[in-house]
Amino acid sequence: MKSESTTIKDIARFLNISASTVSRALNNHHEVSYKTRQAVLKAAKKLNYQPNALAIGLVKNRTNTLGVLMPDITQPFYSSAISGIEYVAVERGYYVIICQSDESYQKEMSLVDMLNTHRIDGLIICPATTTDRYRHLREISRTTPLVQFDRIVDKIDSHKVVSNDYQGAYEAVTHLIQCGYQRIAHIAGPKQLSISKNRKRGYLKALKDAAQPIKKQYICICTLDKEHMRWCTEKLLDLPKPPDAIFAVNDPTALEVMYVAKQRKLAIPEDIAIAGFDDQSLTSYLDPALTTVSQPSFTMGKTAAELLIAQIESGNTTEISFQKKIFSTSLVIRDSSQRKPETND
């Protein structure tokens, strides 16, 4: 008998018992004897019975489906995090619907509404760079378990999973200072993003601790659009006293800094040092290889899924003690920031 045609009634007829008894046995109900339950399970296996996941979901008011909304799934950081989320989801019997906002606030709102309509059990979200209003997140968090990932909104109560952006930036800039760079600029992300704020704070604190002057003209706020990344780089390099090092808010920005520097025939790191943040897979293959800050994206994704599923299965969306998981970063030093020692011929 084919699995799609096998029902509880078929098992009941096969054993000459009631369908309600079969249902209770399959759900391990205490009123069904051990002997009857074993007979039902044996018959279900023989008839190749498969439970109707949709029907079970309706009874339990669950779909066993997680929504994941990221800004750009082509970026290695996010794709690695999604792999971590899926690893846990599959292990726990959940499906995953993956969406990307393309860094669009309007698309993000539309996708949140779509996922909610499809009755997801919970949502993991990293807001878009253009998201500066959060009503859609507040509304869904009232009825659906929510985990904020990487970029977070402190005013919204939920679990949060982030890297220690402040410490990572501090270590990167401190490294540049220790390498002897005197005019260190920063291309920062949009002001409303938590990662932008924390990485900028790390940059400023490193300069302050080293007694280096903080100059506003060495900080350029970027939309994280490719053309604007290049524009910020050009603006910094056109200063009367251009920077001799640039710390970029993320690796894609650092790559555009490197592109502009090479177009200008600047030697890296002799004329200008470059450091990024993310440690994307290709950064070690660049010429020169990029100094950057590594984040444990796969583990962060796993943690986000574990927190979300725990909240879903607790059945509690209101009275819960939310956690903020902060993961340590590590500085990966490569050739883009290390001047070669001078040699005497």
Q: Convert the pLDDT of each residue in 294-336 to its tens digit.
A: 999 999 999 999 999 999 988 755 567 899 999 999 999 999 9
| Rounded percentage of the chain residues whose pLDDT exceeds 70 | 91
**Whole-prediction pTM value?**
0.81
Superfamily of domain 3-51 in the CATH hierarchy: lambda repressor-like DNA-binding domains (1.10.260.40)
Confidence of residue 111 (pLDDT cuts 50, 70, 90): very high
The mean pLDDT value for 120-139 works out to: 95
Q: How far apart, in whole angstroms, are the C-alpha atoms of residue 3 and residue 153?
A: 46
Q: Which residue has the higher pLDDT, 57 or 177?
A: 177
- Please give the CATH number for the structural domain made up of 165-295+332-337: 3.40.50.2300
pLDDT score, position 2: 41
Confidence of residue 342 (pLDDT cuts 50, 70, 90): low
SS (H, E, C) 279-335: CCHHHHHCCCCCEEEECCHHHHHHHHHHHHHHHHHHCCCCCCCCCEEEECCEEECCH
Confidence of residue 55 (pLDDT cuts 50, 70, 90): low
Domain ranges of the chain: 3-51, 63-163+297-327, 165-295+332-337
pLDDT score, position 185: 98
pLDDT score, position 294: 97
Cis status of the peptide bond prior to 76, with omega within 30 of 0: no
Q: Could you read off the pLDDT of 257-276 as tens digits, one per residue?
A: 999 999 999 999 999 999 99
**Tokens 């990293």, residue?**
126
Of 61, 71, 201, give the one whose Cα is nearest residue 126. Answer: 71
pLDDT score, position 51: 66
Which residues, 6+ apart, have CB-to-CB distance to 65 below 8 Å?
A: 94, 95, 96, 97, 118, 119, 120, 121
Q: What is the full DSSP assignment across 77-120? A: HHHHHHHHHHHHHHHTT-EEEEEE-TT-HHHHHHHHHHHHHTT-
Residue 42 tokens, joined: 């044996």
- Please report, to the nearest 10 degrees, the dihedral formed by the alpha carbons of residues 252, 258, 261, 262 taken in order: -130
E strand intervals along 108-237 = 122-125, 146-149, 159-163, 184-188, 219-221
| Rounded percentage of the chain residues whose pLDDT exceeds 90 | 74
Q: How far apart, in whole angstroms, are the C-alpha atoms of residue 309 and residue 279?
A: 28
Amino acid of residue 38: Q
pLDDT score, position 344: 47
Q: How far apart, in whole angstroms, are the C-alpha atoms of residue 269 and residue 337?
A: 5
The mean pLDDT value for 74-97 works out to: 94
Q: Which residue has the higher pLDDT, 230 or 6?
A: 230
Cis status of the peptide bond prior to 190, with omega within 30 of 0: no
pLDDT score, position 343: 45
- Cα 263 to Cα 37, 230, 256, 267: the distances in Å are 74, 11, 11, 10
The mean pLDDT value for 171-200 works out to: 97
Of 203, 224, 205, 204, give the one whose Cα is nearest residue 275. Answer: 203
Q: Does 345 have pLDDT greater than 50?
A: no
Same fold across 63-163+297-327 and 165-295+332-337: yes
DSSP β-bridge partners for residue 154: none
Confidence of residue 229 (pLDDT cuts 50, 70, 90): very high
**Class of the 63-163+297-327 domain?**
alpha beta
What's the chain's average pLDDT?
91
Of 178, 186, 180, give the one whose Cα is nearest residue 274. Answer: 186
Q: Does 94 have pLDDT greater than 80?
A: yes
